[in-house]
Amino acid sequence: MLTRIQQKLLADHRLQEIHAKVESESRLTEEDAMRLYEVRDLNALAFLASIPRERKNGNKAYYILNRHINYSNLCILSCQFCSFAKKKRDAEAYEFTIEEMVGKATSALGMGITEIHMVGGLHPSWKFDHYEALLRALKKIDPRLHLKTFTAIEILHLAWMGKLNVAETLEQLHAAGLDSLTGGGAEIFSQRVRDQICRGKETAEEWLDVHRTWHRMGGRSTCTMLYGHVETIAERVDHLKRLRALQDETRGFTAFIPLPFHAENNKLSHIPEPTGFENLRNLAIARLYLDNFDHIKCYWINHSLKLAQISLSHGVDDLDGTVLEEKIYHMAGAKTPQEQTASELVKAIREAGRIPVQRDSLYNEIARPKDEKPAAAPDETTLSPGHNPATESNLATA
Ligand code: SF4
Protein backbone atom coordinates (compact mmCIF):
# COMPACT_ATOMS: atom_id res chain seq x y z
CA MET A 1 0.00 0.00 0.00
CA LEU A 2 1.55 3.28 -1.10
CA THR A 3 1.54 6.33 1.14
CA ARG A 4 0.10 9.58 -0.20
CA ILE A 5 3.62 10.90 -0.79
CA GLN A 6 4.58 7.79 -2.75
CA GLN A 7 1.40 8.05 -4.82
CA LYS A 8 2.34 11.63 -5.62
CA LEU A 9 5.83 10.57 -6.68
CA LEU A 10 4.29 8.06 -9.08
CA ALA A 11 1.61 10.34 -10.48
CA ASP A 12 2.84 9.60 -14.01
CA HIS A 13 1.05 6.56 -15.49
CA ARG A 14 4.27 5.12 -17.02
CA LEU A 15 6.04 5.32 -13.65
CA GLN A 16 3.16 3.42 -12.10
CA GLU A 17 3.68 0.67 -14.68
CA ILE A 18 7.42 0.60 -13.93
CA HIS A 19 6.71 0.55 -10.20
CA ALA A 20 4.42 -2.48 -10.67
CA LYS A 21 7.19 -4.26 -12.58
CA VAL A 22 9.78 -3.44 -9.92
CA GLU A 23 7.50 -4.66 -7.13
CA SER A 24 6.76 -7.92 -8.96
CA GLU A 25 10.44 -8.39 -9.92
CA SER A 26 9.61 -8.28 -13.63
CA ARG A 27 12.44 -7.25 -15.88
CA LEU A 28 12.52 -3.65 -17.17
CA THR A 29 12.76 -3.16 -20.93
CA GLU A 30 15.01 -0.74 -22.80
CA GLU A 31 11.90 1.45 -23.30
CA ASP A 32 11.40 1.50 -19.53
CA ALA A 33 15.02 2.59 -19.04
CA MET A 34 14.61 5.33 -21.65
CA ARG A 35 11.48 6.52 -19.85
CA LEU A 36 13.34 6.59 -16.54
CA TYR A 37 16.01 8.81 -18.11
CA GLU A 38 13.23 11.35 -18.83
CA VAL A 39 12.27 11.60 -15.14
CA ARG A 40 13.21 14.90 -13.51
CA ASP A 41 12.04 13.96 -10.02
CA LEU A 42 15.01 12.37 -8.24
CA ASN A 43 12.78 11.45 -5.31
CA ALA A 44 10.67 9.26 -7.59
CA LEU A 45 13.79 7.50 -8.90
CA ALA A 46 15.18 7.13 -5.38
CA PHE A 47 11.93 5.57 -4.20
CA LEU A 48 11.87 3.09 -7.10
CA ALA A 49 15.59 2.22 -6.88
CA SER A 50 15.39 1.60 -3.14
CA ILE A 51 13.01 -1.31 -3.74
CA PRO A 52 15.57 -3.64 -5.43
CA ARG A 53 18.41 -2.11 -3.40
CA GLU A 54 16.77 -3.14 -0.14
CA ARG A 55 15.46 -6.43 -1.50
CA LYS A 56 19.02 -7.44 -2.41
CA ASN A 57 21.05 -5.84 0.37
CA GLY A 58 18.63 -4.82 3.10
CA ASN A 59 19.91 -1.79 4.96
CA LYS A 60 23.60 -2.69 4.56
CA ALA A 61 26.14 -0.51 2.79
CA TYR A 62 29.53 -1.96 1.96
CA TYR A 63 33.07 -0.65 2.01
CA ILE A 64 36.48 -2.29 1.66
CA LEU A 65 39.94 -1.63 3.05
CA ASN A 66 41.95 -1.46 -0.16
CA ARG A 67 44.96 0.15 -1.79
CA HIS A 68 45.05 1.31 -5.39
CA ILE A 69 48.30 1.18 -7.34
CA ASN A 70 48.49 2.73 -10.81
CA TYR A 71 51.75 1.06 -11.81
CA SER A 72 52.61 3.34 -14.77
CA ASN A 73 50.91 5.96 -16.92
CA LEU A 74 52.96 5.16 -20.02
CA CYS A 75 50.49 4.08 -22.68
CA ILE A 76 50.64 3.25 -26.37
CA LEU A 77 47.11 4.65 -26.86
CA SER A 78 45.88 8.24 -26.57
CA CYS A 79 42.19 8.00 -25.69
CA GLN A 80 40.61 11.40 -26.14
CA PHE A 81 38.94 11.39 -22.70
CA CYS A 82 42.07 10.26 -20.83
CA SER A 83 44.17 12.64 -18.70
CA PHE A 84 46.30 9.88 -17.20
CA ALA A 85 48.23 8.44 -20.15
CA LYS A 86 51.61 9.93 -21.04
CA LYS A 87 54.46 9.26 -23.45
CA LYS A 88 58.05 8.74 -22.29
CA ARG A 89 59.00 12.30 -23.26
CA ASP A 90 56.30 13.85 -21.03
CA ALA A 91 57.30 15.40 -17.69
CA GLU A 92 54.44 13.64 -15.87
CA ALA A 93 55.31 10.17 -17.19
CA TYR A 94 56.17 7.65 -14.48
CA GLU A 95 56.58 3.95 -13.87
CA PHE A 96 56.95 2.19 -10.53
CA THR A 97 59.45 -0.60 -10.07
CA ILE A 98 58.28 -3.90 -8.65
CA GLU A 99 60.16 -3.03 -5.44
CA GLU A 100 58.31 0.28 -5.16
CA MET A 101 54.97 -1.44 -5.63
CA VAL A 102 55.83 -4.09 -3.06
CA GLY A 103 56.76 -1.27 -0.66
CA LYS A 104 53.39 0.47 -1.20
CA ALA A 105 51.46 -2.77 -0.70
CA THR A 106 53.47 -3.77 2.36
CA SER A 107 52.91 -0.49 4.15
CA ALA A 108 49.18 -0.61 3.34
CA LEU A 109 48.94 -4.16 4.65
CA GLY A 110 49.82 -2.78 8.05
CA MET A 111 46.66 -0.66 7.80
CA GLY A 112 44.51 -3.76 7.43
CA ILE A 113 43.85 -3.75 3.67
CA THR A 114 42.48 -6.93 2.11
CA GLU A 115 42.77 -5.94 -1.56
CA ILE A 116 45.20 -4.40 -4.02
CA HIS A 117 43.43 -2.74 -6.95
CA MET A 118 46.00 -2.30 -9.69
CA VAL A 119 45.63 -0.86 -13.19
CA GLY A 120 47.84 1.23 -15.46
CA GLY A 121 48.49 2.28 -19.04
CA LEU A 122 49.31 -0.08 -21.91
CA HIS A 123 53.04 0.02 -21.29
CA PRO A 124 55.09 0.20 -24.51
CA SER A 125 57.91 -2.13 -23.50
CA TRP A 126 57.21 -4.20 -20.38
CA LYS A 127 57.20 -7.87 -21.29
CA PHE A 128 54.58 -10.38 -20.20
CA ASP A 129 56.90 -11.93 -17.63
CA HIS A 130 57.30 -8.53 -15.92
CA TYR A 131 53.58 -8.61 -15.03
CA GLU A 132 53.87 -12.22 -13.82
CA ALA A 133 56.83 -11.24 -11.63
CA LEU A 134 54.86 -8.26 -10.28
CA LEU A 135 51.87 -10.43 -9.34
CA ARG A 136 54.15 -13.04 -7.70
CA ALA A 137 55.95 -10.37 -5.70
CA LEU A 138 52.68 -8.87 -4.44
CA LYS A 139 51.25 -12.29 -3.59
CA LYS A 140 54.40 -13.14 -1.68
CA ILE A 141 53.74 -10.30 0.78
CA ASP A 142 50.61 -12.12 2.00
CA PRO A 143 48.87 -14.86 0.02
CA ARG A 144 45.52 -13.73 1.48
CA LEU A 145 45.84 -10.33 -0.17
CA HIS A 146 43.30 -10.27 -3.03
CA LEU A 147 44.87 -9.00 -6.26
CA LYS A 148 42.20 -7.26 -8.31
CA THR A 149 44.24 -6.24 -11.27
CA PHE A 150 44.06 -5.17 -14.92
CA THR A 151 41.19 -4.08 -17.14
CA ALA A 152 40.07 -6.18 -20.08
CA ILE A 153 42.00 -3.75 -22.31
CA GLU A 154 45.22 -4.43 -20.37
CA ILE A 155 44.57 -8.17 -20.63
CA LEU A 156 44.34 -7.86 -24.42
CA HIS A 157 47.57 -5.83 -24.43
CA LEU A 158 49.34 -8.44 -22.28
CA ALA A 159 48.05 -11.21 -24.56
CA TRP A 160 49.59 -9.37 -27.48
CA MET A 161 52.89 -8.80 -25.63
CA GLY A 162 53.00 -12.46 -24.57
CA LYS A 163 51.86 -13.82 -27.95
CA LEU A 164 49.10 -15.72 -26.16
CA ASN A 165 45.36 -16.00 -26.62
CA VAL A 166 43.03 -14.49 -24.01
CA ALA A 167 42.42 -17.75 -22.12
CA GLU A 168 46.14 -18.55 -21.95
CA THR A 169 46.88 -15.01 -20.76
CA LEU A 170 44.31 -15.22 -17.99
CA GLU A 171 45.45 -18.70 -16.95
CA GLN A 172 49.09 -17.64 -16.67
CA LEU A 173 48.27 -14.43 -14.80
CA HIS A 174 45.97 -16.35 -12.47
CA ALA A 175 48.78 -18.81 -11.78
CA ALA A 176 51.01 -15.85 -10.89
CA GLY A 177 48.47 -14.38 -8.44
CA LEU A 178 45.66 -12.58 -10.30
CA ASP A 179 42.45 -13.04 -8.28
CA SER A 180 39.90 -10.91 -10.11
CA LEU A 181 39.62 -8.45 -12.99
CA THR A 182 38.76 -4.78 -12.72
CA GLY A 183 35.92 -3.31 -14.79
CA GLY A 184 37.61 -0.41 -16.58
CA GLY A 185 38.07 0.07 -20.31
CA ALA A 186 34.40 -0.54 -21.17
CA GLU A 187 33.77 3.21 -21.73
CA ILE A 188 30.57 3.18 -23.85
CA PHE A 189 30.14 0.12 -26.03
CA SER A 190 28.72 1.94 -29.07
CA GLN A 191 31.36 1.99 -31.84
CA ARG A 192 30.16 5.47 -32.86
CA VAL A 193 31.15 6.73 -29.41
CA ARG A 194 34.38 4.72 -29.25
CA ASP A 195 35.49 6.29 -32.52
CA GLN A 196 35.12 9.72 -30.89
CA ILE A 197 36.49 9.15 -27.40
CA CYS A 198 38.96 6.25 -27.67
CA ARG A 199 39.84 5.68 -31.28
CA GLY A 200 41.96 2.57 -31.76
CA LYS A 201 40.87 0.91 -28.54
CA GLU A 202 39.47 -2.61 -28.56
CA THR A 203 35.81 -3.09 -29.46
CA ALA A 204 32.90 -3.78 -27.13
CA GLU A 205 32.86 -7.39 -28.27
CA GLU A 206 36.55 -7.83 -27.40
CA TRP A 207 36.00 -6.26 -23.94
CA LEU A 208 33.00 -8.50 -23.29
CA ASP A 209 34.85 -11.57 -24.53
CA VAL A 210 37.69 -11.11 -22.01
CA HIS A 211 35.18 -11.01 -19.16
CA ARG A 212 33.21 -13.93 -20.63
CA THR A 213 36.39 -16.02 -20.86
CA TRP A 214 37.41 -15.11 -17.30
CA HIS A 215 33.94 -15.87 -15.91
CA ARG A 216 33.90 -19.25 -17.66
CA MET A 217 37.17 -20.03 -15.90
CA GLY A 218 35.38 -19.36 -12.60
CA GLY A 219 36.75 -15.83 -12.17
CA ARG A 220 34.81 -12.76 -11.01
CA SER A 221 35.08 -9.17 -12.17
CA THR A 222 33.38 -5.80 -12.03
CA CYS A 223 32.12 -3.69 -14.92
CA THR A 224 31.85 0.02 -15.65
CA MET A 225 30.34 2.65 -17.93
CA LEU A 226 32.10 5.96 -18.59
CA TYR A 227 29.27 8.41 -19.23
CA GLY A 228 28.50 12.09 -19.60
CA HIS A 229 30.51 12.98 -22.74
CA VAL A 230 29.30 12.41 -26.31
CA GLU A 231 27.01 9.43 -25.82
CA THR A 232 23.24 9.52 -26.23
CA ILE A 233 20.85 8.15 -23.62
CA ALA A 234 20.00 5.32 -26.04
CA GLU A 235 23.72 4.42 -26.18
CA ARG A 236 23.86 4.31 -22.37
CA VAL A 237 20.87 1.98 -22.31
CA ASP A 238 22.46 -0.18 -25.01
CA HIS A 239 25.61 -0.40 -22.84
CA LEU A 240 23.58 -1.55 -19.83
CA LYS A 241 21.71 -4.02 -22.02
CA ARG A 242 24.95 -5.69 -23.13
CA LEU A 243 26.23 -5.93 -19.56
CA ARG A 244 22.93 -7.43 -18.38
CA ALA A 245 23.04 -9.96 -21.22
CA LEU A 246 26.56 -11.11 -20.29
CA GLN A 247 25.56 -11.31 -16.64
CA ASP A 248 22.61 -13.54 -17.64
CA GLU A 249 25.10 -15.76 -19.42
CA THR A 250 27.87 -16.02 -16.81
CA ARG A 251 26.79 -14.46 -13.48
CA GLY A 252 30.42 -13.42 -13.12
CA PHE A 253 30.07 -9.70 -12.38
CA THR A 254 30.12 -8.76 -8.71
CA ALA A 255 29.16 -5.10 -9.18
CA PHE A 256 28.41 -2.35 -11.68
CA ILE A 257 30.33 0.93 -11.28
CA PRO A 258 29.24 3.97 -13.34
CA LEU A 259 32.11 6.39 -13.97
CA PRO A 260 31.27 10.05 -14.63
CA PHE A 261 33.45 11.77 -17.24
CA HIS A 262 36.04 14.22 -15.84
CA ALA A 263 37.05 17.03 -18.19
CA GLU A 264 40.40 18.47 -17.09
CA ASN A 265 43.63 17.93 -19.02
CA ASN A 266 42.23 15.89 -21.88
CA LYS A 267 41.05 16.38 -25.46
CA LEU A 268 37.38 16.51 -24.44
CA SER A 269 37.79 19.38 -21.97
CA HIS A 270 35.20 21.45 -23.86
CA ILE A 271 32.45 19.04 -22.74
CA PRO A 272 30.76 19.92 -19.44
CA GLU A 273 31.01 17.24 -16.78
CA PRO A 274 27.86 15.43 -15.64
CA THR A 275 26.09 17.12 -12.73
CA GLY A 276 25.14 15.71 -9.34
CA PHE A 277 21.59 15.22 -10.61
CA GLU A 278 22.87 13.27 -13.61
CA ASN A 279 25.13 11.10 -11.45
CA LEU A 280 22.37 10.18 -9.01
CA ARG A 281 19.85 9.57 -11.80
CA ASN A 282 22.33 7.30 -13.55
CA LEU A 283 23.00 5.25 -10.42
CA ALA A 284 19.29 4.83 -9.67
CA ILE A 285 18.48 3.72 -13.22
CA ALA A 286 21.38 1.25 -13.19
CA ARG A 287 19.96 -0.27 -9.99
CA LEU A 288 16.52 -0.60 -11.57
CA TYR A 289 17.61 -1.96 -14.95
CA LEU A 290 20.45 -4.30 -13.90
CA ASP A 291 18.20 -6.73 -12.07
CA ASN A 292 20.76 -9.55 -12.21
CA PHE A 293 23.50 -7.53 -10.45
CA ASP A 294 23.80 -7.83 -6.68
CA HIS A 295 25.69 -4.59 -6.15
CA ILE A 296 25.76 -1.04 -7.53
CA LYS A 297 28.83 0.90 -6.46
CA CYS A 298 29.26 4.67 -6.18
CA TYR A 299 33.03 5.12 -6.38
CA TRP A 300 33.56 8.09 -4.05
CA ILE A 301 36.81 9.12 -5.79
CA ASN A 302 34.94 10.32 -8.87
CA HIS A 303 31.56 11.20 -7.32
CA SER A 304 32.83 12.70 -4.01
CA LEU A 305 32.08 11.12 -0.66
CA LYS A 306 29.24 13.59 -0.09
CA LEU A 307 27.42 12.50 -3.22
CA ALA A 308 28.28 8.85 -2.59
CA GLN A 309 26.67 9.17 0.83
CA ILE A 310 23.45 10.53 -0.75
CA SER A 311 23.56 7.79 -3.39
CA LEU A 312 22.90 5.25 -0.63
CA SER A 313 19.27 6.41 -0.96
CA HIS A 314 19.38 6.15 -4.77
CA GLY A 315 19.98 2.44 -5.30
CA VAL A 316 23.65 2.25 -4.24
CA ASP A 317 24.89 -0.25 -1.65
CA ASP A 318 28.70 0.12 -1.94
CA LEU A 319 31.07 3.11 -1.63
CA ASP A 320 34.32 1.33 -2.59
CA GLY A 321 37.12 1.75 -0.08
CA THR A 322 40.07 3.47 1.50
CA VAL A 323 41.99 3.65 -1.87
CA LEU A 324 45.05 5.48 -0.37
CA GLU A 325 46.48 6.67 -3.70
CA GLU A 326 44.71 7.43 -6.98
CA LYS A 327 46.09 9.00 -10.13
CA ILE A 328 43.65 8.41 -13.01
CA TYR A 329 40.86 10.72 -11.82
CA HIS A 330 43.13 13.14 -10.04
CA MET A 331 45.06 13.82 -13.23
CA ALA A 332 41.62 14.58 -14.76
CA GLY A 333 40.91 17.22 -12.15
CA ALA A 334 39.21 15.26 -9.35
CA LYS A 335 39.10 17.42 -6.21
CA THR A 336 38.43 14.50 -3.88
CA PRO A 337 41.14 13.41 -1.41
CA GLN A 338 43.47 10.52 -2.25
CA GLU A 339 42.17 8.36 0.57
CA GLN A 340 39.43 7.87 3.12
CA THR A 341 39.90 6.26 6.49
CA ALA A 342 37.58 3.41 7.34
CA SER A 343 36.14 5.61 10.06
CA GLU A 344 35.12 8.28 7.50
CA LEU A 345 33.38 5.66 5.37
CA VAL A 346 31.62 4.18 8.40
CA LYS A 347 30.55 7.64 9.52
CA ALA A 348 29.20 8.53 6.07
CA ILE A 349 27.22 5.29 5.90
CA ARG A 350 25.78 5.60 9.39
CA GLU A 351 24.77 9.22 8.89
CA ALA A 352 22.85 8.10 5.79
CA GLY A 353 20.89 5.64 7.92
CA ARG A 354 22.55 2.50 6.55
CA ILE A 355 24.49 -0.25 8.31
CA PRO A 356 28.21 -0.20 7.50
CA VAL A 357 29.66 -3.58 6.52
CA GLN A 358 33.33 -4.13 5.75
CA ARG A 359 33.50 -6.58 2.85
CA ASP A 360 36.17 -8.50 0.99
CA SER A 361 36.61 -8.31 -2.79
CA LEU A 362 33.82 -10.83 -3.39
CA TYR A 363 31.35 -9.17 -1.00
CA ASN A 364 31.83 -11.62 1.85
CA GLU A 365 31.35 -9.79 5.12
CA ILE A 366 34.52 -9.29 7.13
CA ALA A 367 33.16 -7.13 9.91
CA ARG A 368 30.01 -5.28 10.80
CA PRO A 369 28.72 -3.51 13.84
CA LYS A 370 26.72 -5.61 16.28
CA ASP A 371 24.62 -2.57 17.05
CA GLU A 372 22.56 -2.02 13.91
CA LYS A 373 21.01 1.24 15.04
CA PRO A 374 21.98 3.51 12.13
CA ALA A 375 22.27 6.66 14.22
CA ALA A 376 24.95 5.23 16.52
CA ALA A 377 28.11 7.29 16.54
CA PRO A 378 31.05 5.71 14.68
CA ASP A 379 33.19 5.58 17.80
CA GLU A 380 30.59 3.27 19.35
CA THR A 381 31.31 0.69 16.64
CA THR A 382 31.80 -2.82 17.94
CA LEU A 383 32.67 -5.72 15.77
CA SER A 384 31.21 -9.17 15.53
CA PRO A 385 33.36 -12.22 16.29
CA GLY A 386 35.65 -13.30 13.48
CA HIS A 387 36.89 -9.82 12.56
CA ASN A 388 40.56 -9.25 11.90
CA PRO A 389 42.50 -7.19 14.44
CA ALA A 390 43.81 -4.76 11.84
CA THR A 391 40.25 -3.88 10.93
CA GLU A 392 39.29 -3.44 14.53
CA SER A 393 42.09 -1.01 15.12
CA ASN A 394 41.11 0.86 11.96
CA LEU A 395 37.45 1.14 12.92
CA ALA A 396 38.36 1.96 16.49
CA THR A 397 39.64 5.30 15.31
CA ALA A 398 36.16 6.20 14.05
S1 SF4 B 1 42.21 5.23 -21.11
FE2 SF4 B 1 43.69 3.58 -20.75
S3 SF4 B 1 44.18 2.82 -22.80
FE4 SF4 B 1 43.24 4.86 -23.09
S5 SF4 B 1 44.99 6.27 -23.14
FE6 SF4 B 1 44.26 6.20 -21.01
S7 SF4 B 1 45.55 4.63 -20.04
FE8 SF4 B 1 45.75 4.36 -22.25
Q: In angstroms, what is the span from residue 76 Cα to ligand 1's centroid? A: 8
- Residue minimizing CA distance to atom 4 of ligand 1: 79
- Residue minimizing CA distance to atom 7 of ligand 1: 121
pLDDT in tens, 112-147: 999 999 999 999 999 999 999 999 999 999 999 999
Distance CA 84, CA 28 (A): 36
Low-confidence ranges of the chain (pLDDT < 50): 374-398
pLDDT of residue 72: 97
- Residue minimizing CA distance to atom 2 of ligand 1: 121
pLDDT of residue 369: 61
Q: Dihedral through CA 101, CA 362, CA 235, CA 306, nearest 10?
A: -80
Pocket test for ligand 1, best of 201, 206, 268, 329 (most atoms within 8 A of CB): 201
Class of domain 61-335: alpha beta
120 CA: nearest ligand 1 atom: 7
Phi, psi at 298, each rounded to 5°: -105, 105
> Quick one: 165 exposed, middle or buried, by C-beta within 10 A (0-12, 13-18, 19+)?
exposed
Distance CA 312, CA 296 (A): 10
Ligand 1 binding pocket includes 78 (Cβ within 6 Å): yes
Ligand 1 binding pocket includes 77 (Cβ within 6 Å): yes
Nearest residue to 201 via CA among 221, 222, 187: 187
Cα distances from 41 to residues 105, 278, 311, in angstroms, run 44, 11, 15
- The 3-state DSSP class for residue 159 equals helix
- Residue minimizing CA distance to atom 3 of ligand 1: 77
Ligand 1 binding pocket includes 121 (Cβ within 6 Å): yes
Phi, psi at 363, each rounded to 5°: 70, 25
Q: In angstroms, what is the span from residue 121 Cα to ligand 1's centroid? A: 6
pLDDT in tens, 349-376: 999 999 999 999 999 999 776 655 544 4
Three-point CA angle 300, 303, 304, nearest 5°: 65
Ligand 1 binding pocket includes 382 (Cβ within 6 Å): no
